Amino acid sequence: MLRKLLIQNYAIIEEIEIQFSNQLNIITGETGAGKSILMGALSLILGDRADTSALQNRDKKCFVEGFFTVMSKKDVTTFLRDNEFDVEEELVIRREIGANGKSRGFINDTPATLLQLRTLASLLVDLHQQFDTLELGDIDFQREVIDALATNDELLNKYQQSYRLWQRSKKELELLQGQKSGFTKETDYNQFLFDELEELNLVENELEDLETELKMLNSSEDIKTALTRAYFDLKESEQPIVQQLKIIANQLQGFAAIHPQLPGLVERIQSAQIELQDISEEVDRINNHVQFDQSRINTINERLSTGYKLLKKHGVRLTSELLQIHADLGQKLTVVLQIDDLILAKENEVSEHRLKMEESSALLSSKRQKQAKPLEEKVNALLVQVGMPNARLKVQLTNAAYNQYGKDLIEFLFDANKSNRFEPIRKVASGGELSRLMLCIKSLVAQSIDLPTLIFDEIDTGISGEAAKQVGLIMKGLANKRQVICITHQPQIAGKADRHYFVYKETTKNAIKTNIRTLSPEERITAIAQMLSGEKPTAAALENAREMVNS
């Protein structure tokens, strides 16, 4: 609810502060006193564009601030958190307009954009002005009215869950079908590539190992010559190295007992002899296995040639990369074989979700259809009460494509003159008719929809007497559930106020200013009497006013 409104330096308002009640707030005053100026100032914190011509004093900035109590409104709390604004028990929206025309908005002292102000304001305040169709002509609002009366919240949530699952599974099915189409075009080529690699049947590091083996085979004769020479020098020459070391060790051994360092030296020579003996035997073994094999060279060259072609073809350098390509191709071909099974399973899933969605949608449609006629009857009865005896509302439900709210297209049609020519509300209803029609509808759904603060700006145009009294009664009932603020010229409506404000002009320092004050019970009676009979009310008018206030 709107708890307090502060306005400074706006039009002919110097500074005012209004404390609102949480029920029915009535604002009255003479024509031209500045009631519409209040609405203009309020619209600034609701996200309307600023106009520097509204600045009264060009040396000061214009300042409008609204204080709202919002802790019970989950959608407001969600908006604040999603947009990283502070969440507090009291919400403060402020708008400043500098003398240079620069405008700034704030939500809980944090800078906010006009879009953010408008979005948040739509959750806090519902402003109805003359010639403003507002949300009454909006298809979504009309559906929300029917759903509220039908208590469809739980069923609608169930439907929307099935709808989302249906939409998601449809997209997944389309993706699989697209993949199959692409696979079909690529499968033959992928199979050819796979078969090439499958036929080569490489093992890990095979090409690299073959390159090493080929180098050795091509150098086998030189390697064998070197190994033979090494073995000859070590074991079979006229003075083999191994034998020479043995002789040297024996020569020094004779003096080992005499020189203290010779035993260690002899031991090292003997170790070297033993090591060279092993080396010569290893050289001989290797030499025996080194053979020039032209057939093996040809085989390796042929396999490497095939391998090199595939490396170049796939743009890689290593055997491991070819093996990975082989595995990937195998996976793709496996998926191709499985895609039909996956598509069939997904088609079944789509059908399952669609069936659940259709069941919930049918229930929604049935409950909505049941509410159409009672809503028409109740609204039409209220329209008679508020001075529109020839006006009629008709609720039209037609089939549409499935969407997040079902398959019903709900539209309110209106006939203002019993012409039996029903047209969409947004096309045919006047400003005053729309406002009273909205009042009738919202009075019916106030207990089902979490309505924001409702502000009605002169919706009483063209009515008086009993019709005005009925509008006041409807507002009074509506205000038992929601905060209502109403600007009116009708004493019958003013008499129903829980708090009555009077807007007036005064001259201060040779300047005309607009001001507002809360009326006491006796002041209310006088003000309503003046609305009945003029500036100097008669005794009868005063008595009538007292009856309106006390009834």
Largest Cα–Cα separation, the chain: 156
How far apart are alpha carbons 235 and 285 in whole angstroms?
A: 14
Structure token digits, residue 264: 């260690």
- CA terminus-to-terminus distance, the chain: 26
Number of domains in the chain: 2
- Does the pTM exceed 0.75? no
pLDDT of residue 136: 60
Domain C-terminal end among 338, 355, 389: 338
Task: Report the alpha-carbon distance of residue 360 to residue 161 in Å, rounded.
Answer: 10
- Matching residue, tokens 């028409």: 376
Instruction: Report d(CA 228, CA 283) in Å as an integer.
Output: 8
In the predicted structure, residue 426 carries a pLDDT above the cut 80: no
Return the bridge partners of 512, or none. 507
| Tokens read off for 545 | 């006013």
Higher per-residue confidence, 523 vs 290: 523
260 CB contacts (<8 Å, ≥6 apart)? none
136 DSSP 8-state letter:
T
Q: Mean pLDDT, to the nearest integer, of 18-40? A: 87
Burial letters 525-547, b for 16+ CB under 10 A, else e? bbbbbbbbbeeebeeebbebbbe
- Verify that 117 and 220 share a domain, yes or no: no
For residue 133, the model assigns a pLDDT of 42
Q: What is the mean pLDDT of residues 365-390?
A: 91
pLDDT reported for residue 286: 83
Q: Is the domain of 123 the same as that of 184?
A: no
**pLDDT more than 70, % of the chain:** 96
Q: Report the alpha-carbon angle 343-348-352, nearest 5.
A: 145
Where are the strands (E) in 178-319, listed by range?
none
Final residue before a domain boundary, out of 338, 356, 389 = 338
Strands of 346-436 (E only): list them.
Answer: 392-403, 406-415, 423-424
pLDDT value of position 511: 80
- pLDDT band for 394, please (50, 70, 90 cuts): very high
Clarify whether residues 241 and 310 are in a common domain. Answer: yes
C-alpha closest to that of 440 among 456, 461, 417, 420: 456
Same domain membership, residue 465 and residue 332: no
The rounded distance, in Å, linking the Cα atoms of 479 and 198 is 81
Q: Provide, for the chain, the percentages of residues in helix, strand and coil under a 3-state DSSP scheme, each rounded to the nearest 5.
A: 55, 20, 25
Examine residue 154 and state whether it is found in any structural domain, yes or no. Answer: no
Same domain for 82 and 201?
Answer: no
Q: For 111-124, how does the pLDDT look when each residue is reduced to its tens digit (9 = 90+)?
A: 999 999 988 988 88
The reported pLDDT for the residue numbered 291 is 75
Within-domain flag for 171: no
Q: Can you tell me the distance from the alpha carbon of 45 to that of 49, in angstroms, rounded to the nearest whole number?
A: 10
Domain encompassing residue 251: 177-338
CB atoms within 10 A of CB 372: 17
Domain co-membership, 226 together with 117 = no
Claim to verify: residue 111 and residue 199 sit in the same structural domain: no
Q: How far apart are CA 295 and CA 400, in angstroms?
A: 79
Q: Which helix (H) or strand (E) holds 264?
A: helix 262-289
Q: Is residue 211 part of a domain?
A: yes
* CA–centroid distance for 439 within its chain: 33
Task: Say whether 507 sits in a helix, a strand or coil.
Answer: strand
In tens, the pLDDT along 497-530 reads 999 999 998 887 778 888 899 999 999 999 999 9
Q: Which among 450, 451, 427, 428 is positioned nearest to 439, based on CA atoms?
A: 451
* Contact yes or no for 175/335 (Cβ under 8 A): no
| Neighbouring-strand partners of residue 8 | 15, 63
Sheet holding 499-508, edge to edge: 125-129, 453-457, 484-487, 24-29, 499-508, 511-518
- Whether 132 has a pLDDT exceeding 50, the answer reads no
The reply to whether 193 and 293 lie within a common domain is: yes
Answer yes or no: is 377 within a domain: no
- The b-or-e profile of 206-222 (16+ CB within 10 A means b, else e) is bbeebeeebeebeeeee
Please check the confidence at residue 43 and state whether its pLDDT lies above 90: no
Question: Given this model, what pLDDT does residue 129 score?
Answer: 56
For the stretch 135-153, pLDDT in tens is 565 678 888 889 988 989 8
Q: Name the residue with tokens 């030296």.
A: 265
Contact predicate 494/469, CB 8 Å = no
Residue 215 has pLDDT above 90, yes or no: no
Q: In what order do the strands lie in the sheet with 423-424?
A: 392-403, 406-415, 423-424
Do 77 and 210 belong together in one domain? no
* 124 and 208 within one domain: no
pLDDT of residue 211: 87
Give strand pairing partners of 207: none
Decide if 124 is inside a domain: yes
Residue 539 lies in a domain: no
Please check the confidence at residue 431 and state whether its pLDDT lies above 70.
no
| 21 inside domain | yes
How many Å apart are CA 208 and CA 300, to the nearest integer? 11
* 307-321, 370-384, 445-459, 510-524: the lowest-pLDDT one: 445-459
The residue written with tokens 């005896």 in the block is 389
Among 252, 249, 256, which residue's Cα sits nearest to residue 272? 249
User: What does the mean pLDDT of the chain come to?
Assistant: 86
- pLDDT (0 to 100) of residue 357: 96
238 & 334 share domain: yes
Whether 157 maps to a domain, the answer reads: no
Phi-psi label, residue 101: left if phi above 0, alpha if psi -120 to 50, beta otherwise: left
The domain that holds 47 is classified in CATH as 3.40.50.300
CB atoms within 10 A of CB 430: 14
**2 and 99 belong to one structural domain:** yes
Residues near 263 by Cβ (< 8 Å), separated by ≥ 6?
256
